[in-house]
Structures are given as C-alpha cells and as structure tokens.
Structure 1
Amino acid sequence: MSVLVIAQAAADPSGLLSLLGWTGAHLWPIRAPWQIAPFVVYLPVLLGLTWWTVRTIAGSRWLFAATASGVVLAVLLAKFAMSLVAAGNLAAAAWGSGFALAKAIPAALIVAGVVAVAGRRRQVPDPLPQAPSVWVGALAFGDLAPVLAGQWWAGAPYDRWMPAPNTLNGAFATIGGVVVLALGAIGCQRVLGRRVTGGPAATFLAGWFAAMWAGALLALAATLVGLLSDDSFAGDLWPLMATYIRLADGVSYGACTGWIVGLAAVWARRRSAQHDAEQSAPDPARRQLVPVGAVVLAAIVVAVPLLATADAEPAPPATADAIAAAETGTLLPLRVSGDTITDTADREVLLRGVNVNQLVDFYAPRPEVPPTLPLTEQDFAGIAADGFNVVRLGLSWSALEPDRGRYDEAYVDRIRGAVAQAKAHGLYTVLDMHQDGWSNAPSPDDVSCRPGASPMWGYDGAPDWATITDGAPRCQFTGRDISPAGGRAFNNFYYDTDGVQDRLVQAWAMLAGEFKDEPAVAGYDLLNEPNFGETAPLTSSLLLGRFYDRTIDAIREAGAEQIVYFEPSILWSGLGFDSGPPPGFTDDRNIVFSPHLYAESITVDASLGLPTIVSIERGFTLADRVARMYGVPYWSGEYGFWGDDLVEKATRFATAQDAHAQGGAYWVWRQACGDPQNGIQELGDGLMPVLCSTGADAPRNTALLDQLTRAYPRFAPGRITHLAADGDRLELTGRAGEGSCRLEVWFPGELGGGASAVDTVGIEGVEIAPAGGGMLLTGCATGDYELRTGATGS
C-alpha cells in the first residue's frame, strides 16, 4: 500500500486520481487542520487499517475477497477521518467517504492480488458450519439509515421508486431501502461469516464486510428498479454511472456504520460459545430463522415518522396593484412559488434569454486583441428584438473589488447602466458573479509543470488579493478547471482563509443593497460554476452550501428580496450531474437551483470522444429530480452548442426545454476575438458572431436562431400545463389562478395568418402587435385555457 501511494502521487499531476495527491502546495505555514489532514490523518489511518484488516483475516478461506473488502474499508474510513478533522461535520464526512470508492477499488484489487499470491501455499481451515446470527444488528444497521442518511441516497441518481433509505425520496423508497439493507446484511453475513475465520476480530470484520456488501446489494436493487422506471437505457451511459454512484453511497454507508453488524456477530459468537459449553450435544437442526416480518415492521416503524415534511410556503397572493401593473406590461418583481418562478401577479414566468459577458474582467491572451466588446444599448435592443426577456449579466469580483474593502464605483455604475438599459427594452437581468479557473491570472513565465500538466491562460474571477494558492503551480490538467493553483485557491475560499469568503459575501450584500428596489433584477446568481476544490465533496457540497447560506442571509439583511440562484459545482457542467449543496443548506425559500445544462455539448465525454454519459433529454430529467429534492424550481443559467451538429442538438434541447416548461440563458450573446474562451480564432463565436479581421458582425446562424427564438409564453396566468413549439407554431395549455389574467406570448416573424391563425379556448380580448423582430400576443386567460397556432408534431 505504501508503494502504491507513492507511485500514484508521482504519476498523477492533478491529485484527483491518486489515493493521496500531491499538488505542490506548501505545507507551511499551517493555518487550518485541512492543510495537513491528508498527511497526519488520512495516511496513518489508511496504512494502519490496511495492515490490521489483512493481518486479521490472513487465515480465511476467501482471502482475496476478504482482503479487497478490508482495503476498501481502510480507504473509506481514512477519507472519513480526514474529512471529519478538516470540516468537523460527522454526517458530511461519512457521506463524503463514498467519493473515494473509485480510488479504493483499484487499490483493493492490487493489494488483494499481492496478498493472495503471497498466501497461496497457506493452510486454510474448513468453513464454519454456521455463521453467527446478526439479525438484531442488521435491524439496527438498516433502521438507522433514514436517520443518518445525510446526502446518502439523495440527488440525481435516485428517484422515488428506487429503494434508497432517505426520506426525501418518499415512503416506498425509504422502507424498501431499509428492508434491503437489513436483509442484505443478514444474507451476506451467512456467507462471509462462515469463511472469514479466526478470532473475535475476524468475526467482527466479517460482520462489517457483510454490511458493506449489503450496501452494494442496495445499489443493485436500486439499479434494477431504475431500469424499469426513469433510468432505463436511452442512448447514454447514465444507468451505468448512476449504478456506480449508488454503489459508492451504499458501500460507504456500510463502511461507516457496518461496525454495528460486526458487534452483533461478536456478541452472537460469544452467545453460541456459552451455549455449547452448557450443552454437550446441541441440536444441529437448531437454526436462527430470519425474522423477515420483523425487518419489514421495523422499517415501517422507523421510516414513517421521519417522512413528515413541512409543506412549502405558498407565495403571497397577488395584490390589486400588481394585477393592475401587469395589465400595462410593466416588469414585476419575480419570486418562487412552489416549483415555479412567478411574478407578483401570480403568473408563471419563462425566463428565456442570453448570457452577456461584456462586463467580465477577462485575461487578455494578446494585449492588442481586446478580450471583451463594448456593452451598448444596441446589444439590449438586439436581444429584445430576438424575443428574449432576460439577460444573465456576468460580473467580475476582480473588477468590483480590485482592492480589499474598496469597491470600484465606476464599475458599479456600469452595472447600474446595464440593468437600466435592459429594463428599458423589457428585459429582466440576473446578476451573475462569474468566474472561470478562479481568476484571470495566467501561469507565470517561469512556471514548472509536472508531466501530464501544462501552463495555462488566465480566465476570470477573483482579485489577486483573494487568490491564495500556497505556492501550488498554475498548471492545467485536461483544462482550466483542474489546476493545483485553482484547487488550492478554491479550498482557501471555502475554508475562508484570511476572510476572503467574508469579502465576497459582503460584496454581494453591497450589490443587493444597490438593486433591492429594482423589479427588473430577476435575481442574484451567487457564483458561476464553482470549482470542487481539493477536498470534494466537503468543499463542493457542505462548504459551498455554507457559503450560499451566508450570502443569502447577507442579501436579505441588505433588504433585497429577489430570487437567489445557486449552482452546483463545475462537475454538473462537465458531467451532466453533481451532488450539490446538501438539502436544507438554507431555510430561505426564494431560491432557484441553477445547473448548466451542457449535456452533449462541452461535457468531458464529448471533449474526450467518449460515449455520452448524460443525454440532452436526460439532463432535464436529472435537473428536475434534484430540484424536486430541494423543493424549488430550476433554471439553466447556461447552455449552448458548437460544432457541425449544433442545430440538431439545439433542436432536441428546445423540444426538451418546452416539454419541461423551462427557461434558460444561451451562452453567449457576443464574444470578443480576444476572449480566452474564444481561443483567438477568425471568428468571435457568439450568438452575434464577429469577424476578427475587421471587427464587423458576421452572418448569424439562422437555423440556430430559429430554435432559440421560437414561440413561447413569457407570462402565463396561473400555471403552464403543456408547452410545445416549433417556430411560430405553438401549443400551450394552462390553468389560471386568482392573479392577473394577462397572457403574453412571443412569436417570431410576422405570425403567418395573423389573428386568424390563432385558436384559443378560455382566452378573451386577444390582441397581436409587433414587438421587435416578432409579434406579441396578449389576452385575458381564465380557468383552463388553450392556445394553438398549428400542429407542432407533439
């Protein structure tokens, strides 16, 4: 194991794939336990447990399987111990140990292979006639699962039908998960308990291994159910990826709590020895029957009381003033109502628009080529003319607070001006604190990168004074988001080293105070694609959630009541799914989950030429599943497609977007030729492309625009129940509520046939008027209403 640790650390420049990564960051000065926990906690626990488990089961019949189980146990418990010391959160540390399974399995196979070869000539005893009974411990092991779940069995890999003992998934999943865990532990103990032989320590380990195997059986059961429900194979690898995540969750739960089953095995063995001593001829037919009924009953008794959840607070009813303002077409404040984004007139709002990056403080790869284009009123006029109703406005912390504690008033004025210009053209604005690769600092000229890594450009994000890398090199591994310097900078941010996180929280409070009374501000996107740092998932889940919670509180204390958008880590953009902040990370309900739905676009599978992990359609399903777990709506702050097949993919995205009645913001409106993300090529590759040789606008991709600018309801009274569109052909049904009845629907072009082409039910006073490059239909919708302008093929 020692040789393996050293070899992996030397071979892996990222530290992501090795048991113990070495990023090159300085170990001194030591400011917090997390800096040294990998060396003073993880490594000793890993080596010590490996030695003890292998030594304990060395005389067992199933030496390879037992050794592999012991090494997996050692790796997971070492990760748990390190995480507990680093963050001090028992539940998060236990759940997060599962992230190490991908490293544990190869290590376990290597070490078990060496041990099996070394012991091939050993004498092994015959299996025991009967394994110690552990049904009492198995009941406790299973029944504790809903109580200790944390993020185990939550998130994208789980749906309500899959056995997964987390009350967020509902009664069927919770009770089923408890039953599978308990019965699985009993069954696995009957197999392992006979073959892992030795003293009490070996008996204890056999029970513990049985619990881990029971967790693996739970993953298998969830996968089999998933294949019959939402996770069936549909052209992507998601079922396999989801299976692995469930396996990591189940095995890590067994590793962290399986000692309960182990203790039960030791107790049963001692009871059996006492019985044998008291009776010289015990009845060989006497066996402990598994009380299956007791397992099911115990699962129900434990799970049902935990299933009670508080109902989401309904949004306040629409006021007469809001209803009157809606009739004039005024932009009203937005809010969350259940799983929907609405305005204060209680109309569902679909925010469909584009990202604007022209205020981002990008690194300039070539100083003579500007990394951004000027942001003018013509940009907002063009966005509105295309039928969009929102801009996601990228901001840079480095430009906002160039010196610690000093805000750049000129930059704040530029933000104010952009919000005002957007509002003047009927556009909402989402303020986005943007970052890519942590900061716009490039690799120094004298940087020395390890084999497998390379010097990198800067991108955008934090100011220099908030960039604490502890000497880790600015070298990228596969791309800008995996670099030792970036990972260490994010780690220091998550742990609030030198109060850098405090400063961003206060910067958001300042901005919120500036815009608290502006209804055209659709909300605050707290941090673009946050990195996972060095100690995921503590950083990318627990600590990211703490940052969000602190920032939301600061925004509310500043008097701002607008929506707050929170993102999962960059893993969602790169893989199509992620763990995200833990459920309940905040008690604020005016929040929206905002993953970036880049499936089949810039995800790692596409960039590496691998089969699709998550399809476009699956991406929406997973986002919906996670948002339901949080009990909030979701909105994709970024999506986009590039390459020869972009129109085909954009068409599929549009179909799925309508089917889920979703909005989103396309990346990006205009991209300068000197933008580091553009790569300095002949074309500034935005929705409004730019010819780099002349600076003039290039021809637009009309086929792509046809998908992005198709018909859609901007404001729908009550709730949308069905939506499908293709160009100016639209099918819309909804159910109006007690708020405003004013319906607003955008159509591209001139809407062939005009009003005569529109069929409506439950909509009165229909009017159609020119709006930018299209038409705007308005009317008063009541009850169950319908609007159709032709067959959409749905």
Structure 2
Amino acid sequence: MRQARRPIVAVAATSALLLLQAVIDPTGLLALVGWPGGLPLVELGWPVARYLVFVPVMLAVVWWAAVRAGDRFWTMTAGAVLAALLAQAAGCFAMAGDIALAAWAGGFITAKAVPSALIVAAVVRFAGGPRDLRVHRRGSVWPGAIAFGAMAPLLAGTWWTGAAYAPLIPSPRADSGPVLMLVAVALLVGAGWISLRWMRRRVRGFLGVWLAALVAGGLFGLAQSLIGLVVDDGFAGDLWPLLAAYLHVADGLAFGACTGWIVAVVALVADRVQAKRTVADAAAGTPEASAPSEATTPEAARPAKVVAAAGIAVAVIAVTALAASLVTAASDPATASAAGRPATSAPAEFLRVDHGRIADGDGHQVLLRGVNVNQLVDFYQARPEVPVTRPLTEADFADMASYGFNVVRLNLSWSALEPVQGELDAAYLGTVKRAVGWAKAHGIRTVLDMHQDGWSNAATAEGTECRPGTDPMWGYDGAPEWATRFDGAPRCSFTGRDISPAGDRAFEHFYFDTDGVQQALVRTWGELAGEFRDEPAVAGFDLLNEPGFGETAPVTTSLKLGEFSDAAIDAIREAGAPQIVFVEPSILWSGLGIDSGPSLGFTDDPNVVFSPHLYAESITMDRSLGIPTIVSTERQFELAQRVADEHGMPMWSGEYGYWGDAASIGSRLTRYAAEEDRRMQGSAYWVWKQSCGDPQNGIGEFGIGLVPEDCATGDDAPRNEQLLGILSRAYPQAAPGTLTSLSAGVAGDDGGRMSLTGVVDGPTCGLTVWVPGSAEPTIADSSGLTRLEVEPQPGGWVVTACAEGAYALATEG
C-alpha cells in the first residue's frame, strides 16, 4: 500500500484538477480538458476524443511518473508536464489522424500543463508519503544526446515554424539552411547531454531518459529565445520576446515529449551494450576489468571518452545534415519562397500573384489600398427602429475614389447569400453585382469577403443562464440558420463576441464538416466565383473573415482551416474563376498578432495571398486587458511577412483600424502608414461607414467609421478628416517591375509628398501614382522615367509615366 500511495495521490490530484478546471472555466479555453456546455455527440467522434483519449492517457502517464519520478518535486513536475503533452498529442491524433500535426500540437497545452503540473507535484510532495532521494548509476549519456539532436532534422514536421522564428534563430529544419541547422542540432545535443546527466541520476530506466528529453527540449527553446532576443529586435519595447520565448519552449517541450521514447530506446540499448562489454572484458581478464591503475582510472579515461563521443557526435550531425538536405531537396516545393514563383496564368486584365507580389497582366506591381464596406452585411438587429447598415450607393464609390482608394473589401453575408440551402438569393446576388459595377465605374477593384463575426447573427436565447465569467451577447453576422449547430452550448460571451461556447461549437462542426456544412460553403464559393469569373474588376475572393478557433485549436486553426481553404480554392478554380484567393488565419491573429495556421503546404495553387488582419495596438488582447503591448505596430508587419514567406505567398492586410481619442488614433495610424509604406504593402481600413445599429457599434451617439453617422438624424456626421488625411496619402497604385522603396507624407500639405524607387527589366509604361490635394503636385525629382504626365482627378491628381531600368520619382504637394 505504501508503494501505491504516491501514484494514487497523483492520479487523484490530477483528476480533481481536471474536474475543477472544467467546472470553473466557462469556455473550456483555460482548462486542460474543457467543458463549455452542450451535449458532446458520441457518434461524431471528435466531441468526445478529449475525454475518451486525453483523460486516460494523462492519468496513465501521471501514475507512471509518480511511481518512477515522484520522489522529487521537480521530476514529478516534469512527469506531469509529459503526461499533459502526450495526452494532448494523443487527443489531436484521434481527431485528425495526422501524426505530425498531433505531435506539434502537444506544445499548445504548455501554458496550461506547467501550472497544473506544479500543483500536482506539490500535492504529491506533501501527501505522497515517504520519499527515497538516493541517486542512481547514471548510465550512458552521449548516445542518447546524439540521437536527440541527430533525429531532429529528419522529424522536424511542423515544429520550429511560424512567426516566432526569425531568420537567424537556429532551427533544426533543413530548410533553415545548413549552418543554422547544424548549430541547432549541436545545441540539441548539448541540451540532451546536460539533461541526461542530471535526470538519469534521479529517475531510473526508460522514463528517466524520456523526461531528460523533455527537459532538453525546453532548454533548447530557452537557447533559441536568448538568441532571438538579439537577432529578432527583442529590445523594441513590446512583450514579443516573452511570447516568442514561450513558443520556442513549447515547441521544444513538444519535440522532447513526442520523440523522447526514441532517445530512451537508444540510451537503454547503449546501456545494455556497455554492460555486455564490461562483462566480456571481465571474463577475458582485460586491463579494463582489472584493478585500475593511476592511468586507467575513470577520471583519467574520461577526457578520451569525451573526445571520442564528440567526434562521433560531429560525424552523426554531418550525416544527418546531408540526409535532411537531400530530403528537403526532393520534397514538394509548395512552400518555396514566393519570390521564385512566376506570374499566375490568368487573362491579361486580371490581377495575379507574380514573384511574391500582387501584379497586373503587364507585370506591374499593384498596391491595393482602400477600405472595408460592411453595408451589405446581414447583421443582428438589437432594436427594430435602429437600422443595422447604411444604404450603399454609387456615391459611396465615387467618394472613396476621391481619396485615392483603388480597392474595396466588400463584406458579404452567407446568411443573406444563401438563406435556403442550395439556392443563392438572386436579389442579394444582384445587389453584390451592382456594387462591383459601381466600384469598377470609379476605378476601384473589389475583394469579395465572406464575412462572419461570432459565427452567425444568433443572439443569446431568451431564458439562457450564462455561467459565471460569461455574459449574454448580441448576435453579429455570418452563417445562415441551417448551417448553425450549437448543440445546447450557451450563446454567452467571454471577453468579446468571438469567444462563445455556442460559437465555438458551431465552428467545430464547420471544421469537421458535420452534416456537410463545410462542403456547403465550399459549393457556395464555387457558385459565387462562377458568377464573377469573367469580371477583372473583382481582384479576388476572401474565403472567410477571421475564422473562429472552435474547441480544439490547433487542429482546427491549422489543419482543418487549411483543408477548408484548399477545398474552396479548388471549387473556385473549377468554376473557371482566375482571380486571387485571399486566405486568412484564425481570429487569434487579430487578438494576439500571431496565429498557427493554416498548415504549411495546404494548397499548391500559386494565385493565393496570405491575408492576416493587422490590429496590433488596436483591438488586440493587450489593449483590452490593459497590459503592455504584446506585438507593436511595426513588428506586426514583420511577423505577418514571415508567415507569408513560409507559405510562399504575398501578404495583404484585409483589415486594420484604430479607435479612441484623436491624438492616440492619429499617432498610431501615422506609425502604421509609415511602416506600410516602408514595406510597400497594401491594406483595407475598417470601416467606411458603420451604422448606429451595427452590433459592433453598440448603438451609441454616433456610428463609427471614416464617414460617421449621426444617430439622432441618420445623416452623415462630420468626417474623420484626420484619419482620411493619412489614408489618402500619395502612393503608387501601380509600378512597373518591382518597387524597391517608398515613403510618403501623411497629412495636410505634406500628404502630397512621396518618394519611390523601382526597377523594371525593359522599357514599359504603367507607373500610376495617386497624389491628394487641390494644388497640382510638383515633380521634385525623377530619373529613368519618360512621358511624365499629371492629370487632375476628383480629390487629387494622378501622375503617370513610362520607366526603363532603375527609376525614381519624388513629388511635393
């Protein structure tokens, strides 16, 4: 009974913790195994995988850890962390059937696993009974350490990817380059050596080596974090270094947890070989088995052993590097750099992706800058006398053009487009076509955006009792009623519209295609794209606005989001539509400034743009919680570009915006504009007009937006000229070849100041520059340009020219 006391205490503490977290966490986000409410449907599989797979695996490994590693607080902590990560990986594998994704996904539970493990270890320490703190014979170290580092490039999978990995951070991925890969492998070997020497003295056998691999992975993540602090501008003043460090450590822990058993096999085989060799030497009467002399003591022999082991390590690392490089060279180039991709095949008048840029049929780089238009969205209406949208007219597009905008992200509602399953509403479709035509008439391209906020416009049902920590909520917009399944989960919000048990459940059904709901949207995209396949004024299709994370991220936000995107892209192409497809990460990007998906290589279509929403220092969680900035306005561009580069795609921000006091808004938007220009990017501001009845507006005194509404009269309120002055600054709408630099003024007389440089292979016309203001702009400098012309336009001027080779243009307002 004394031997069973400690594992019984550990399992009981873990079980109580799992149950307590499920009860007190109203969303399931902060619990190891959440229960946000509603009925988990056994016949679907994924709703119960968390309970039928996660819980047994965690409890079994906790029992094992308590038996073998429970004598010490820190080894028991490591054992409980291992249990949580393995349980997460097993649960994800049961849901997705993708072993690489499941292994990587284990790290996503780190923030919940570590504090839970500390609690379990503390309970075991004080209630687990007598302890045996003897140290044990260490056994072999080098073979396991070498194996830990050498197998990393071959098993990299999804580990060590994403925004956290700056180009100079060592990563054991062959695609990070041979030097950085070798440095990373060497660091892994070193971390393994340190961890094995420490852990094997305290925890015997197979588990001791496995825990050492777990700890080694964490140490490797810490080493990456320290390097990242230097090479990733970690001193810029935001909290990104801490968040990046967490991601590094989580990746390392997941790698150690999911591959540590391999290290254990290698180490135990090495132990057995060494033991047999010792016995054979003793039987043969060799000097090694006789009484040691001064020259043959272990201390004297150790340097030679270390040198030999180091030589073996170098050889293994070199062989691993060669093998990993060959594997990478032979792999699918779907994730190759976008800079190497030629122009997508499309009719000349359509935009397309061309060598990492958005370009026109003549190869000119195109900057798409404009606004979001939500005036066709089917919003929830809180009060029948307060309209939820403002009428959309041709005058809106003429107005937008007068600010130099050349793109509109037109927000559409699935609920209005397909209120009856299988039938596109002809009247609504006609409204969309009319809007596209108006935009085209004023020189504005349209991105058709399937918009949603909180999944649908369903509000909290009358009589619903929201659990503590959540509140009744309005509906918002998105899917039709026939595509919505809540399963009794409460429509109650936690810190905002996007975290709702009902909304999360509906998204989970969508990702796992319950009742064919995902395929229904895929078919709808095919039909909608088919309606616009011959319309070059449609720049592209934005598949789904800020997709929710469901209940099982990152399975949903990475693998499943990628599967939906790929299917929708296929449907669009099968409909004959050649336009660009804009693919978004989940809502987590808007809230944190980073996200995990969609999975790398989710599509092989070359005409796709990565489109995160860059809301840093605006609506991200740091501002809502009142904590220091997680990701700065400037850094968000770099993080987004890293992920776009991994996908081999250009990057375009489909949404961003700022609210609050005028001074704060102006300052933040000015910084955004400067960084956007420096990176030669485009974007769409949120939002052109927002009605007082829009649920996101909250029925206040004024409807927010660039053109506000006076809620008392329904008329336009005074415009936000400060923001419009920044947004309408001078910029090249199209540039021959490729832009190499861009800067511009942002307000008043300075709004017409602009400087750009570019390079084009051969002589061509096509430079088109917007300059705001009533006074004709002055050409302050030009080179490599001919046929310079300045033509007046409503609200400003358009400068056109032809270019050859390297060229430059500077204007003054």
TM-score class, shorter-chain normalisation, is over 0.9
Q: Does 1:223 align with 2:225?
A: yes
Provide the rounded CA distance (Å) in 2 between the counterparts of 1:47 and 1:388.
Answer: 58
Provide the rounded CA distance (Å) in 2 between the counterparts of 1:608 and 1:124.
Answer: 44
Q: Per-residue deviation at 1:615?
A: 0.2
Using the TM superposition, name which of 740-749 and 725-734 deviates more: 740-749
Q: Per-residue deviation at 1:738?
A: 4.1
C-alpha contact 1:525 1:565 (8 A) present in aligned 2: yes
Tell me how large the CA RMSD over aligned residues is: 1.8
- Report the equivalent of 1:655: 674
C-alpha contact 1:433 1:526 (8 A) present in aligned 2: yes
Provide the rounded CA distance (Å) in 2 between the counterparts of 1:119 and 1:227.
Answer: 41
* The one of 541, 547, 552 aligned to 2:558: 541
After superposition, residues 353-392 of structure 1 pair within 5 angstroms as 353-392=370-409
Matched residue pairs, number? 768
Q: Per-residue deviation at 1:751?
A: 4.6
Q: Per-residue deviation at 1:382?
A: 0.5
Q: Does 1:158 align with 2:170?
A: no
Provide the rounded CA distance (Å) in 2 between the counterparts of 1:664 and 1:353.
Answer: 6
Q: Does 1:259 align with 2:265?
A: no
- Report the equivalent of 1:113: 122
Q: Over residues 562-596 of structure 1, what are the superposed CA-to-partner deviations in whole Å (9 max), with x where a residue is unaligned?
A: 10000000000000111111110001111000000
Q: Per-residue deviation at 1:231?
A: 3.6
> What is the one-letter code of the residue matched to 1:718?
G
After superposition, residues 222-371 of structure 1 pair within 5 angstroms as 222-278=224-280, 279=282, 281=290, 284-285=297-298, 286-287=301-302, 288-289=305-306, 290-291=309-310, 292-308=313-329, 310=333, 314-316=341-343, 322=348, 332-371=349-388
Provide the rounded CA distance (Å) in 2 between the counterparts of 1:511 and 1:305.
Answer: 43
C-alpha contact 2:343 2:352 (8 A) present in aligned 1: no
Provide the rounded CA distance (Å) in 2 between the counterparts of 1:124 and 1:225.
Answer: 36
> SS state of the match for residue 200, structure 2?
helix
Q: Per-residue deviation at 1:227?
A: 1.7
Provide the rounded CA distance (Å) in 2 between the counterparts of 1:548 and 1:765.
Answer: 44
- Report the equivalent of 1:55: 67
- Report the equivalent of 1:83: 92
Q: Per-residue deviation at 1:160?
A: 2.0
C-alpha contact 2:351 2:579 (8 A) present in aligned 1: yes
Q: Per-residue deviation at 1:625?
A: 1.0
> SS state of the match for residue 502, structure 2?
helix
Q: Over residues 199-220 of structure 1, what are the superposed CA-to-partner deviations in whole Å (9 max), with x where a residue is unaligned?
A: xxx3211211121122112212
* The one of 716, 719, 732 aligned to 1:700: 719
> SS state of the match for residue 412, structure 2?
strand
Q: Does 1:37 align with 2:49?
A: yes
Using the TM superposition, name which of 721-730 and 134-143 deviates more: 134-143
Provide the rounded CA distance (Å) in 1 between the counterparts of 2:16 and 2:344.
Answer: 66
> What is the one-letter code of the residue matched to 1:425?
H
Q: Over residues 680-718 of structure 1, what are the superposed CA-to-partner deviations in whole Å (9 max), with x where a residue is unaligned?
A: 001110111111101111111222112111000000000
Structure-2 change in CA distance of 1:207 and 1:298 (3 Å): farther
Using the TM superposition, name which of 160-169 and 661-670 deviates more: 160-169
Q: Per-residue deviation at 1:139?
A: 3.2
Q: Over residues 71-91 of structure 1, what are the superposed CA-to-partner deviations in whole Å (9 max), with x where a residue is unaligned?
A: 011000001111111111111
Q: Per-residue deviation at 1:144?
A: 2.8
- Report the equivalent of 2:21: 8
Provide the rounded CA distance (Å) in 2 between the counterparts of 1:295 and 1:221.
Answer: 22
Provide the rounded CA distance (Å) in 2 between the counterparts of 1:174 and 1:542.
Answer: 26
Q: Does 1:732 align with 2:756?
A: yes
> What is the one-letter code of the residue matched to 1:125?
R
> What is the one-letter code of the residue matched to 1:73?
L
Provide the rounded CA distance (Å) in 1 between the counterparts of 2:623 and 2:549.
Answer: 21
Provide the rounded CA distance (Å) in 2 between the counterparts of 1:778 and 1:429.
Answer: 23
Q: Does 1:415 align with 2:439?
A: no
* The one of 598, 620, 626 aligned to 1:603: 620
> SS state of the match for residue 534, structure 2?
coil
Provide the rounded CA distance (Å) in 1 between the counterparts of 2:619 and 2:774.
Answer: 35
Structure-2 change in CA distance of 1:52 and 1:621 (3 Å): same
Q: Percent identity?
A: 54
Provide the rounded CA distance (Å) in 2 between the counterparts of 1:780 and 1:751.
Answer: 23
Structure-2 change in CA distance of 1:541 and 1:739 (3 Å): farther
Structure-2 change in CA distance of 1:177 and 1:562 (3 Å): same
Provide the rounded CA distance (Å) in 2 between the counterparts of 1:126 and 1:220.
Answer: 27
Provide the rounded CA distance (Å) in 2 between the counterparts of 1:421 and 1:17.
Answer: 47
Provide the rounded CA distance (Å) in 1 between the counterparts of 2:70 and 2:555.
Answer: 35
Provide the rounded CA distance (Å) in 1 between the counterparts of 2:352 and 2:345.
Answer: 11
Using the TM superposition, name which of 598-607 and 109-118 deviates more: 109-118
> SS state of the match for residue 69, structure 1?
helix
The two structures have a TM-score, normalised by structure 1, of 0.94
Provide the rounded CA distance (Å) in 1 between the counterparts of 2:326 and 2:505.
Answer: 43
Q: Over residues 622-680 of structure 1, what are the superposed CA-to-partner deviations in whole Å (9 max), with x where a residue is unaligned?
A: 01111111111000000000011111000000000001100000000000000000010
Provide the rounded CA distance (Å) in 2 between the counterparts of 1:54 and 1:121.
Answer: 13
> SS state of the match for residue 768, structure 1?
strand
Provide the rounded CA distance (Å) in 2 between the counterparts of 1:671 and 1:617.
Answer: 27
After superposition, residues 500-539 of structure 1 pair within 5 angstroms as 500-539=517-556
C-alpha contact 1:348 1:719 (8 A) present in aligned 2: yes
- Report the equivalent of 1:18: 31
**Unaligned residue ranges in structure 1 (runs of 5+):** 197-201, 323-331
> SS state of the match for residue 410, structure 1?
helix
The two structures have a TM-score, normalised by structure 2, of 0.92
- Report the equivalent of 1:125: 134
Provide the rounded CA distance (Å) in 1 between the counterparts of 2:762 and 2:144.
Answer: 55
- Report the equivalent of 1:98: 107
Using the TM superposition, name which of 725-734 and 287-296 deviates more: 287-296
> What is the one-letter code of the residue matched to 1:374?
P
> What is the one-letter code of the residue matched to 1:340?
R
> What is the one-letter code of the residue matched to 1:44?
P
Provide the rounded CA distance (Å) in 1 between the counterparts of 2:351 and 2:811.
Answer: 28
